[in-house]
């Protein structure tokens, strides 16, 4: 077997492993991206208790939580990156299929 095919097999196995890990992580991230981080919630609770008379705004606190916003931004970036990766993987497979079919008929 050529070094290139051996390396593509290794890379493909790694891609499958990473995709399985990503697939398991997605339901967790789906919920987290819409909630304030635990650290932000605790920090906000301490602030409210130390500032008497301040009105609590849990929805506003969640919306403006920097950790939540960063996670949400990463989700959006990751979706774009995953789409591009899929295009590349499909291109690799199709390119090899096309050349293998052409080889069979002597092209």
Region 17-32: mean pLDDT is 97
pLDDT digits (tens, 9 = 90+) for 33-81: 999 888 865 555 555 555 566 667 777 778 889 999 999 999 999 999 9
pLDDT at 18: 98
- Whether the full predicted model's pTM is greater than 0.85, yes or no, is no
Instruction: Measure the CA angle with vertex 20, ends 78 and 13; round to 5°.
Output: 105
Instruction: Find out whether 72 and 98 touch, Cβ atoms under 8 Å.
Output: no
10 Å Cβ neighbour count for 74? 13
CA trace torsion 53, 58, 59, 65 (10° rounding): 110
Domain edges within the chain: 33-104
Helix (H) or strand (E) holding 12: helix 3-32
Confidence of residue 20 (pLDDT cuts 50, 70, 90): very high
Query: What is the C-alpha radius of gyration for the chain, rounded to an integer number of angstroms?
Result: 23
pLDDT at 45: 58
């Amino acid at each position: 077997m050529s070094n290139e095919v051996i390396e593509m097999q290794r890379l493909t196995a790694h891609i499958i492993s990473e995709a399985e890990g990503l697939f398991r992580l997605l339901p967790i991230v789906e919920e987290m991206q819409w909630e304030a981080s635990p650290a932000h919630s605790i920090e906000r609770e301490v602030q409210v208790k130390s500032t008497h008379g301040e009105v609590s705004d849990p929805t506003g606190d969640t919306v403006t939580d920097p950790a939540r916003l960063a996670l949400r931004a990463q989700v959006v970036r990751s979706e774009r990156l995953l789409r591009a990766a899929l295009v590349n993987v499909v291109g690799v497979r199709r390119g090899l299929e096309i050349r293998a079919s052409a080889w069979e008929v002597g092209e």
